[in-house]
């Protein structure tokens, strides 16, 4: 499969290494991942676990107001079965047949993670949705932010769920090409390594 993005293992590995050398907040990711794993099946605790990461990794958004943890809990509870299925899967087996379910899931989290108070009440964050979905199914759902989405020409200002599906297609292509040439650290995933490269390249300009 061909992609217009450079995905040779050396380039991706260099970006991942740069991330690990510069980025000190990855401890939050590890803690949140641990908490999600140990609270699985308990929607209230899962919502708390997601909040640990979201309020740090997306503090630029939530400094204007918080999401409602009870709303997030209800979204998780209503989608726990499908989330459990996606949690078992890998980006390599993502296909068109998944897209309608993911659209619905993305929309539900977009509403559940919106700001509920302050001047920006009602503002939604596709970045928060991707971070939450990734924590819930780290091998299947990729992470993005504003600069990463723009870097891959799938910015979410219009049709955010459709643009996320486009980004998932790109991420699957990248994972396919890298499947035999990248060192994935213990406890991590191919998607996390790709995100480290994306963050180093598009968000921070370290590589």
Phi and psi angles of residue 165, each rounded to the nearest 5 degrees, phi first: -65, -40
Q: What pLDDT, in 10s, does the model give residues 156-181?
A: 999 999 999 999 999 999 999 998 78
Percent of the chain residues topping a pLDDT of 90: 85
More confident residue, 181 or 90: 90
d(CA 114, CA 80): 20
Q: Which pLDDT belongs to residue 175?
A: 94
pLDDT at residue 84 in the model = 98
Let me know the angle formed at the C-alpha of 195 by 144 and 66, rounded to the nearest 5 degrees. Answer: 40
Give, in order, the Cα–Cα distances in Å from 145 to each of 70, 88, 178.
25, 24, 22
Those residues whose C-beta lies under 8 Å from the C-beta of residue 8, and which sit 6 or more positions away, are 181
pLDDT in tens, 119-134: 999 999 999 999 999 9
Continuous segment of H or E residues that includes residue 75: helix 69-78
Q: In the Cβ-directed half-sphere of 148, how many Cα atoms lie within 13 Å?
A: 24
pLDDT of residue 1 exceeding 50, the answer is no
pLDDT tens digit sequence for 177-196: 998 788 888 889 999 999 99
Average pLDDT over residues 76-86: 98
For 198, list phi and psi in degrees, rounded to 5: -60, -45
- CA angle 44/48/50 to nearest 5° reads 115
What pLDDT is attached to residue 25? 63
Of 55, 106, 46, 110, residue with least CA distance to 73: 46
**Cβ atoms < 10 Å from Cβ of 97:** 7
Q: 16-59, pLDDT tens digit by residue?
A: 999 989 986 688 888 999 999 999 999 999 999 999 899 998 99
Mean pLDDT over each residue of the chain, to the nearest integer: 94
Eight-state DSSP code of residue 170: H
How many Å apart are CA 168 and CA 143, to the nearest integer? 9
Question: What's the pLDDT at 70?
Answer: 97
Q: What is the pTM of this model?
A: 0.94
Domain ranges for the chain: 9-203
Tokens (6 digits) for 127: 């970045």
Helix axes 126-136, 99-112, angle to 10 degrees: 120
Asked if residue 3 has pLDDT above 60, the reply is no
């Amino acid at each position: 499969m061909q992609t217009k993005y450079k995905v040779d293992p050396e380039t991706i590995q260099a970006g991942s290494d740069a991330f690990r050398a510069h980025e000190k907040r990855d401890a939050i990711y590890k803690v949140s991942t641990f908490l999600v794993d140990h609270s699985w099946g308990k929607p209230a605790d899962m919502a708390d676990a997601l909040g640990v990461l979201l309020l740090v990794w997306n503090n630029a958004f939530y400094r204007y107001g918080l999401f409602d943890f009870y709303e997030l809990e209800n979204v998780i509870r209503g989608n726990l079965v499908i989330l459990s299925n996606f949690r078992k899967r890998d980006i390599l087996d993502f296909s068109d047949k998944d897209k309608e379910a993911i659209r619905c899931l993305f929309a539900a989290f977009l509403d559940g993670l919106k700001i509920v108070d302050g001047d920006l009440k009602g503002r939604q964050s596709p970045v928060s949705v991707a971070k939450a979905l990734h924590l819930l199914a780290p091998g299947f759902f990729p992470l993005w932010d504003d600069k990463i989405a723009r870097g891959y020409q799938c910015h979410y200002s219009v049709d955010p769920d459709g643009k996320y599906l486009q980004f998932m297609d790109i991420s699957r292509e990248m994972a396919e090409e890298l499947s035999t040439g990248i060192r994935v650290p213990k406890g991590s995933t191919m998607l996390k390594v790709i995100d480290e490269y994306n963050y180093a390249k598009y968000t921070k300009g370290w590589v």
